[in-house]
Amino acid sequence: MPSCELCGASGDIVRALVESVEVRVCVSCARYGKVLSSPFPSPAVHPQKLAKHAASEPLQVIVPDFAARIKSSREKLGLSQEGFARLLNEKKTIIHSLEIGKVAPSMPLARKLERLLKIKIIEDYQESSAPQIQNTSSFTLGDFIRVKKA
């Protein structure tokens, strides 16, 4: 962040001639001299802000024990894997793979599962548990697609 060479204030800085010397000063100090340019652009501030903002967006992940949660909730509802698959409009093999933890559900499927089973299997991404969950979801997404095609 540029700051005023006369008073040290930061903010909108302009180039101005003060007593024949070119200085970068704030708008109020610029009154004492001759302004050479309109507010000094501060490059890199905006892209940085944007990047920071994107990084702090809450990222959602599937909980590690989704398989157990899905299976026990389905059983509580008295549904077979087949019946449950029909309700979800998915193949029975998908349900089976989910319940043995072979694949993680995609986000849309996970939301459907949450609604249907009244469970929580999506959670906000936590830095501390990053490596494990990251690997799980990137591995299982491709795996999930393969299973779906089969």
* Contacting residues toward Zn ion, per CB under 5 A: 4, 6-7, 9, 25-26, 29
Closest separation in Å from C-beta 127 to Zn ion: 40
**In whole angstroms, what separates CA 142 from the centre of its chain?**
20
**Cα of 65 vs its chain's centroid, Å:** 21
Nearer to Zn ion, 29 or 119 (CB): 29
Amino acid at 139: F
Nearer to Zn ion, 26 or 94 (CB): 26
CB 95 within 8 A of CB 81: yes
How far is the C-alpha of 119 from the C-alpha of 61, rounded, in Å?
14
For Zn ion, which is the closer residue by CB, 10 or 80? 10
Which CB, 26 or 104, lies closer to Zn ion?
Answer: 26
Least CB distance to Zn ion at residue 22 (A): 15
Contacts of range 144-147, beta carbons closer than 8 Å, 24 or more positions apart: 144/94, 144/97, 144/103, 144/104, 144/105, 144/106, 147/93, 147/94, 147/97, 147/102, 147/103
Looking at the Cβ atoms of 9 and 87, the one nearer to Zn ion is 9
CB of 18 to Zn ion, least distance (A): 10
Residue with the two structure tokens 């802000």: 49
CB of residue 5 to Zn ion, shortest distance in Å: 8
Shortest separation between residue 119's beta carbon and Zn ion, angstroms: 59
